[in-house]
Amino acid sequence: MQDSHEDTIIQLLNQSGQAVMVGDSARAESALSRARQLDPVTLELELARRAWANQTGSKDEINRRREGVVKRLGGVAVAAPDRIDAWRALSEYLRQLGNNEGVLRATASGLKRDPVNVELWIRRTKAQIDMKQLDSAARSLRHCARLAPTHDAVEAMIRVHPVCAKCDALFAAAGAETCGKCGADGPGRGAVVRSVRARHNNKFDIYFPRVRDLIAETLDMPEHIQRQLTLDTLLKRHLKRTNQHCAKVLRAMSKEFGTAFDEPLFQSAVNGFLDLLIADLIRAINPREDKTIDTQIRRRALNETKS
C-alpha cells in the first residue's frame, strides 16, 4: 500500500498554522509546500477535514464553507481518480450536505476503480435508501452482505431494512407500514418480511468468518489487514501466493475441518494459487459432516445445501 505520509502532513499543517499565528507567512508557506510535495491528495483531505470541522461564523457561512470544501475535494478526486480515500471522504461530506445525487456519482466513480470497496457500497446503499430507490438499495445491500457479511454497518442496515416478501424491494425502515415500491403491507402492519441475507446464505457466507480468521492466523496477517478482509478481498487481494503459503493454508484447513471435507472435491482442489485453493476448499466442506460448527450455523448451511 502506498504511504500517504499522513502523520507527517498533519505535523506540517500544524507547524504552518502556528507560523500563521505569529505572522511568519514565509515559514507557513514552506511547511505547506513541503506537505504538498509529500502527497498532495492527503494534504487536501486533511485541509478539507479541518475546514469541515470549523464551526466559526454563522450557519450560512458554515454552509458556504462546506459547499466550498466539497467543490474543491471533487476536483481533487477527479484529478486523482485512483485515490479511493478521496472518493470516500467526498461521498461522506456530500451525504452530510444532503446531496444524495452527489453521493451516487462519487461512489460510482470510486467503485469503478475499486469495485469491492465495502465502505463505498455502504454509502451508496444509504443514499439509495434516502432517495427511496428501494429496488436499487436492495441490490446494493445484497452486494454489501456478499462482500462483507460480518461488517457492523452492513449488519445494522440489514436489521433495520428488511425486504418486501412480494417484490424484494427494501423497506425504508424496520417499522414501515407499506412497501415503497409495490405498496404491499410492511412489517409495521405485521406483514411477513425477509432479510436481504436470506438469498445469500451460501456456504461461502457461512464459512467465511471462520476461514478468514484461520488464514489470517496461519499467514500471520497483521490485525489491520485481517479486519479489512472481506470475502472478495480474501479471494483476490492481500494474499501472497507462494507454494509455502498454499501448503500452510491447506494444512490449517485440513486440521480445522478434517473429516468434513468431501473427499473427491478436496482432492481436486487446485493447489498452487491460494485464491483458487481457498475457494475450492470452502466448496469441499460438507456442512452435514462438519461437527464443529455451532448448530444454528449448521442448520442454515443444511438448508442451503437442500435447495
Distance CA(144)–CA(158), nearest Å, equals 10
Q: How far is the CB of 187 from Zn ion (least distance, A)?
A: 12
Pick between residue 40 and residue 187 the one whose CB is nearest to Zn ion. 187
Contacts of 99 (CB under 8 A, 6+ apart): 70
Segment lying near Zn ion (by CB under 5 A), choices 56-64, 98-106, 135-143, 161-169: 161-169
Pick between residue 166 and residue 203 the one whose CB is nearest to Zn ion. 166
Pick between residue 166 and residue 248 the one whose CB is nearest to Zn ion. 166
Interface with Zn ion (CB under 5 A), residue total: 8
**Angle between the N-to-C axes of helices 243-257 and 274-284, in degrees from 0 to 180, rounded to the nearest 10:** 10
Segment lying near Zn ion (by CB under 5 A), choices 28-36, 157-165, 195-203, 234-242: 157-165
Distance CA(144)–CA(286), nearest Å, equals 26
Q: How far is the CB of 118 from Zn ion (least distance, A)?
A: 26
Q: How far is the CB of 303 from Zn ion (least distance, A)?
A: 24
Site string for Zn ion, 162-181 (x = CB under 5 A): --x-xx-x---------x-x
> Rule CB under 5 A: which of 270-299 touch Zn ion?
none
132 touches Zn ion by CB under 5 A? no
Q: How far is the CB of 156 from Zn ion (least distance, A)?
A: 22
Q: How far is the CB of 135 from Zn ion (least distance, A)?
A: 9
Q: How far is the CB of 230 from Zn ion (least distance, A)?
A: 29
Q: How far is the CB of 130 from Zn ion (least distance, A)?
A: 18
Pick between residue 179 and residue 219 the one whose CB is nearest to Zn ion. 179
Are the C-beta atoms of 292 and 257 separated by less than 8 Å? yes
Pick between residue 164 and residue 250 the one whose CB is nearest to Zn ion. 164
Distance CA(230)–CA(145), nearest Å, equals 10
Segment lying near Zn ion (by CB under 5 A), choices 41-49, 73-81, 127-135, 159-167: 159-167
182 touches Zn ion by CB under 5 A? yes
Pick between residue 167 and residue 225 the one whose CB is nearest to Zn ion. 167
Pick between residue 171 and residue 204 the one whose CB is nearest to Zn ion. 171
Q: How far is the CB of 181 from Zn ion (least distance, A)?
A: 5
Binding-site member from 184, 198, 260, 265 for Zn ion (CB under 5 A) = 184
Residues that bind Zn ion (CB under 5 A): 164, 166-167, 169, 179, 181-182, 184
